[in-house]
Amino acid sequence: MHNHTHSDRGGGVASHGGSDLGRRVSARRAELGLSVEEVARRAGSAPGYITYMEEQQAVPGVGFLLRLAEALETTVPELAGGGMDLPTGLGEASPRAELLVLKPHECRALLSTHGVGRVAVSTHRGPAVIPVNYVVIGGAIAYRTAPRTAAAAAAGQKVAFEVDHFDEALSRGWSVNVVGMAHAVTGDAAARGFDEQAFTEPWAGGERHLWFEIFPDYITGRRIDVAPSGPRQT
């Protein structure tokens, strides 16, 4: 797992012994590509306290949490992990929602370099959709799994791969879909190379050293945005 200094713009989540709240703050900051100094400025705080929040067992007050959530463009319940056991999409839809088609370069930017997505494959029991950790390497999407799993059934298949993100508080979100052939990465040296480029161990844990690459035939995406209120400027 690659670690970055906490002041780096868009740096990864540091491995530390802090609280769950601190880890969520660090992860959200990295997701937005913000430095500690930028978050501190947005929240009206000191950079040292943001670092302390991320790395120690801090117990901030409600007022600060509200400012911090606003600075990180999220909500206090999201930072506190209150929605972990709930499916996304329970928030109210905006009456001014717009569905926008994303251009290919926008889709690739949202796929970024790593994260969690879902691969849809055909198995002997029927279709299956499996969440996987993934990275983008050389234009291909790569994920790792274990032999004899549903995700391993993708070998030699045309599959669908999907990544999305939804903001319950702002009623916004996006999704990107990739369709292409999945190929198993063969050879111990090649697999080790993919292991070295992975940003994290698999969230599901266990020994998962079987890598698959999906080479996109096409990429599509949609964004749900909220139209501005009031008359349009001409």
- Cβ contacts of residue 23 below 8 Å, gap of 6+? 13, 16, 54
Question: What integer pLDDT is reported at residue 169 of this predicted model?
Answer: 60
Cβ(53)–Cβ(67) below 8 Å? no
DSSP string, 158-226: EEEEEEEEEETTTTEEEEEEEEEEEEEPPSHHHHHHHHHH-SS--TT-S---EEEEEEEEEEEEEEEEE
193 versus 56: the higher-pLDDT residue is 56
Cβ(13)–Cβ(23) below 8 Å? yes
pTM of the predicted model over 0.85? no
For residue 97, give the H/E element and its range: strand 97-101
Highest mean pLDDT among 26-30, 194-198, 216-220: 216-220
Q: Tens of pLDDT along 23-75?
A: 889 888 988 889 999 999 999 999 999 999 898 888 888 889 899 999 998 88
In whole angstroms, what is the distance from residue 99 CA to residue 38 CA? 31
50 versus 113: the higher-pLDDT residue is 50
Task: Answer whether residue 126 shows pLDDT above 90.
Answer: no
Task: Answer whether residue 166 shows pLDDT above 80.
Answer: no
Average pLDDT for 63-88: 81
Q: Tens of pLDDT along 128-164?
A: 898 988 888 888 888 888 788 888 888 888 999 999 9
